[in-house]
Amino acid sequence: MSSQENKHVESQPTILSYVRDLPNLCSLAGLACTVSAIYLSILGIYYGAMIGMIWAVAFDWADGLIARKMTGRTGNDRTFGGQLDVVIDIVSYGVTPAILLLSYGGFEPIYLVGAFIVLAASAIRLSYFSTYGLSADSKYTGLALDNNSIVLVFLFLFDSFFSEANFSLVLYGVCVTLAALNVSQIKTPKFSGNPISVYVLSVYTLSITGIYAWRLL
């Protein structure tokens, strides 16, 4: 190994050194909420899963705001943070809704189709965004994935108006519709970078948490 290669190896930061970065810690906190939502979905505690899902969105939006306000972050810090976001997004907005759908449908085989559509659309949507980023007018192409969780969390406010069988069909239809919008050519604004949108999400998150916590009691 040449001296130049030795220098490169020695200067390369350790994997866990990136955990000290505050935006990455925020991203991991969102991942913890996502894991909780998946766990509660499997157990059938859907109101608890909704709380985990909306807090995952809140932490996802917060990490970007924190990153933009911090100084001294290197290009590698930003690249690592961006990659971490993408990996966590596929779990939060792809895997979680897919498992939610499967669980609410009693893990019947027909729900595997919907779960695949949701997860495939999420993977395609994130791959497209990683390739092309925002459009020329700073908008997303296709519905951003975080909107999926926001909509699904809102949808469960009305589950008591339906029988379990009927609501499972409603959930199936909404999940597939969101997946179609994720990979469509519609243009949607980047709400996560707007201070007003962040304020609205904060109020929404706290309100949703209170409502579902009360229902769990």
The candidate with the shortest Cα–Cα distance to 171, out of 113, 110, 105, is 105
Domain range summary for the chain, segments of one domain joined by +: 19-216
Topology adopted by domain 19-216: Four Helix Bundle (Hemerythrin (Met), subunit A) (1.20.120)
pLDDT digits (tens, 9 = 90+) for 57-104: 999 998 877 777 777 677 787 788 888 989 999 999 999 999 999 999
Residue 3 has pLDDT above 80, yes or no: no
Q: Is 73 in a helix, a strand, or coil?
A: coil
Q: Report CA-CA distances (Å) from 63 to 25, 30, 193, 209.
A: 8, 9, 11, 20
pLDDT digits (tens, 9 = 90+) for 136-148: 888 999 999 999 9
Q: Report CA-CA distances (Å) from 84 to 78, 80, 115, 196, 200.
A: 10, 6, 23, 25, 25
Neighbours of 172 (CB within 10 A): 20
Name the least confident of 9-18, 131-140, 150-159, 163-172. Answer: 9-18
State the pTM of this model: 0.89
The β-bridge partners of 68 are none
Q: How far apart are CA 211 and CA 5, in angstroms?
A: 57
Q: How far apart are CA 180 and CA 176, in angstroms?
A: 6
